[in-house]
Chain A
Amino acid sequence: MIRRVLFCCLSVPVVVQAQAAFDRSKPPTLPAAPRLVLPVVLASTLANGVALRVVSQREVPLVQVTLTIAGGSRLDGTESGIASFTSRMLTESAGGKDVNAIQSELAYLGATLSSSATWDAFVVSLNVPRRSLDAALALMADVVQRPSFTGADIRRQRDLRAAGILQRRDQPTALAGLAFNSLVYPVNHPYHRSPDGDSAATARLDSVAVRAFYTRRFVPAQAKVIVVGDISPAEASNAIGTAFGAWSSPAAARRSPPVTASAVSNAAPKVFLVDKPGAAQSVIAIGGPGVPRSSPDYAALVVMNTLLGESFSSRLNSNLRETKGYTYGISSSFGWTPIPGAFRIGTSVRTDVTDSSLIEIFREVRAIRDSPVGVVELARGKAYVALAIPGDFETNGQIAGQLVELDSFGLPLSSVSEMITRVNAVTAADVQRVARKYLPADRATIVVVGDLAKIRAGIEALKLGAVTVLDVGSIVR
């Protein structure tokens, strides 16, 4: 009681008694971690097949509406970049309204409306103050169901996209990522190419092609709408029914074609170099095939990757940043996508330690395969994954994002609780086993973008594998 009284006096200096029985030398014992309480999701389906999920969150008077359709850039086929371009075109002219009228009205409503494609889905996202929801939803309904695809709008966005592709040549991190994907995914794999396409394909984009693609893919029976925010389930159901209930499409719902190609597993490591004369750093991307999200090893892989390169205290970051001072940061990740993605280590390092950095990266990859992780380290990695999960459900956008991601793998929300249980059960032997099974120590694809006059000899001397020099023009076409 005394503590409280002394301390609550606003700005009044008081003499504080020395604390009794407080040992500063030991970290405090923490209370039990809070239990995860998952949002309540109400599911329903409109007559035309649009699936609806609603989560009421009354804290802030905002509503998030996310519409997704499975597919995305992996459906580009020979029309490189058309999925992301078509998605982008939705928020131009629509419903008989000029693009400027739509954009002006959205801003007036305090709304943000975006439309994009990932490799695996089309995503239209609206965030709006509750009081403007109905008006903003009417605009969202227009752009999803009645896009105009005028020639003028398409030419303007096509020119901007061409300029964006040109600018990628300036960005060493983007170059490394594009090169890595073009190498680790074979040419017939949907992730081989940039979702934004190339210059030649961009030049061919026109109203006919875009409308044909839209008509095939934007089908109500394949649409899912997630509403999260300051709204009751009944209100949400009414609002979404008004906006999307009359949506019909001449095209039949179709499943995405099965993907048979998988990422490349080299027989031996391969090195690919990209020259950026005068570069201040070398950008490194190293990896290989990933793992399906449905793998029973998923939880062990997440823990292993946390310890290898995801957390700040991970082995890669502790070594290359905190011990050697080679980099500002290094991380590793598995691409958890509906089609199994890649495993990848990424960093930017000082030019003169490019070869040393490669040595240390492979040292860490081998170490986590060769020896079991320690008890304290394992406990830290598991806690970092499991205890951080409640923080992923703070905002409307985060909740919607979690639902979209889980849904893309066909997983229910309850799988989040199961994940915590599975993470807590991971052993040091599991970590070592999945590291050995999945980390590409002896078959990695290695990409380095940097000043080759300064780094090439050092990299070749490591004898990691065959070295190929790639032209920037072959990566950004």
Chain B
Amino acid sequence: MNLRHFFALGALALAPALGSAQATRLRVSFTLDTLPNGLTLIVHEDHSVPIVTTNVWFHVGSGDEKVGRTGFAHLFEHLMFMGSDNAPYPQFDRLLEAAGASNNGSTTEDRTNYYEFGPSSSLPLMLWLEADRMGWLLSTMDKPKVDLQRDVVKNERRERLENQPYGLVRDIVPPLMYPAGHPYSWNVGGSMADLSAASVEDVKDFFRRYYAPNNATIVVAGDVKVDEVRALVRQYFSDIPRGPAIERPAPAAFTVRDTSAILEDRVQLPRVYLNWHTAKSTDTDTPALQVAAYVLAGARTSRLTQALVYGGEVATAVQAYDDAKRLDGDFSIVATARPGKALDTLQTVIDQQLQRLAADGPTTRELDQARNAIEASFLRGVQTVSGKADQLNEYYYQTGNPDGFQNELDQLRAVTAADIQRVVRKYLQGPRVMISVVPQGKPELAATRKRVTQ
């Protein structure tokens, strides 16, 4: 297998550079086609291993849900595996397994994806199954299916949130960060009450509105030939009628109100969550916010990691990340106290470090370190056909260009010290939502300090 990679047909054209100055070129080759019914097909050939993945994005997520039906996009994702006209339940999973393939799906605020992974021979089956549920899902949909997957989804919620320490924070943050009615003002998983309320009619409405070829993109990546993929996709998907034009939510601009909340939970150690309103993924400030997150907590020697965990020794762990979504974004710093430490102590250190970064900016060494680490993580991201396929779909949805790898990397590499100072001042010193999770009966451990104003 080692030599086969030499003739990888330019699947990934890379010219490694010397030194830290520049610049690996990342190019993921692709073809882009659109069927008359609006379905977009992106194919990426990578012949290094005889495997294939299909990755379908429907451009609908929890942000498209109606009030009173939170969690519905995710519940619907589960129902997509419950059988269609020509592949009645439970054939979807059974046929794929019999071909050596696995599958899954996931839902975010902005999109729902479905993917299969297996030997290259399983591609026709993957596409046939995806087409059948895109075109012929509803006639077999009934209340028992909805009730069953409602139970499964509620169990998922219990396992991931309610039975996890700190898990309920995921319910608390969105409605404090975003105004009522904003598409991101509820947790993707939704509430138990809303899940209980979902009906078969809701399922049918949702499918007719959002699960149409003109709202979907399919990426096929792996050991395939683009013309064969095109022929298969045309054969399986062409009969699916175009759906109605889709109205996207367009939330109004807003300002976060400074908020503090305390959650008493079954935890041994207190944890503080600090959240700021930032910018959407295509905003020009987003790359600087992502580099700022790395400078703050991306490595052992990052500023907060040093000040809280290894130098200051008041926390056991700290994370920082900018979650830039299609319509809006938010930045989080999450720190867990060491035994005996109160969250006020952690909050003081975090405030000081943010002020220092805003005042002085990162050093050249910090910036170079962040750039190199981020570039290496890009390389790791293109090691698998699954990673490339999902990213092609992501870039296409966000920018219209599937091969956005190098562009995103260039934007991250172009971030300057002044950019970091600017975005820290602009976003991370303004109003914030602060959640303290403390052991039950110990509210005195919560963070209480007022925001430091400049």
Contact = CB atoms under 8 A, between A and B. Distances in A.
B100 A384 contact: yes
5 contacts: A4-B227, A7-B234, A59-B8, A107-B369, A387-B99
B86 interface: yes
A219 B406 CA distance: 44
Given A13-B36, A62-B383, A104 B235 contact: no
Nearest to A30: B121
Nearest to A388: B100
Contact of B93 (A62, A172, A313): A313
B132 interface: yes
Contacts of A276: 266
Nearest to B168: A280
What 8 A-B pairs are tightest by C-beta distance, nearest first? A387-B100, A110-B376, A325-B151, A34-B50, A280-B162, A170-B165, A28-B124, A103-B300
B90 interface: yes
Contacts of B152: 321-322, 325, 327-328
A24 B124 CA distance: 12
Contacts of A62: 376, 379-380, 383
B372 A109 contact: yes
A386 B383 CA distance: 23
A260 interface: no
Contact of A107 (B132, B164, B299, B309): B299
Interface stretch (B16-24, B196-204, B324-332): B16-24
B266 A278 contact: yes
Contacts of B230: 3-4, 7-8
Contact of B266 (A8, A58, A159, A170): A170
B334 to A, nearest CB: 14
A129 B266 CA distance: 43
Contacts of A3: 230-231, 234
A159 B382 CA distance: 37
A325 B384 contact: no
Interface residues of B, number: 103
A384 B86 contact: no
A146 interface: no
A99 B299 CA distance: 12
Contacts of B101: 387-388
Contacts of B384: 394-395
Contacts of A100: 300-301, 306, 310
Given A129-B376, A280-B158, A322-B148, A16 B90 contact: no
B49 A394 contact: yes
A27 B159 contact: no
A62 B5 CA distance: 13
Given A172-B163, A350-B155, A59 B16 contact: no
B217 interface: no
Interface string B359-385: 000000100110011011101101111
B373 to A, nearest CB: 5
A166 interface: yes
B269 A166 contact: yes
Nearest to B155: A328
A420 to B, nearest CB: 11
Given A34-B121, A328-B152, A388-B100, A59 B2 contact: no
A394 B383 contact: yes
Greatest chain A CB density within 10 A among B36, B98, B124, B380 is at B98
B153 to A, nearest CB: 8
Interface stretch (B27-35, B205-213, B243-251, B418-426): B27-35
Contact of B121 (A31, A107, A391): A31
Interface stretch (A36-44, A71-79, A205-213, A426-434): A36-44
Interface stretch (B57-65, B112-120, B180-188): B112-120
Contacts of A162: 339
A25 B100 contact: no
B17 A60 contact: no
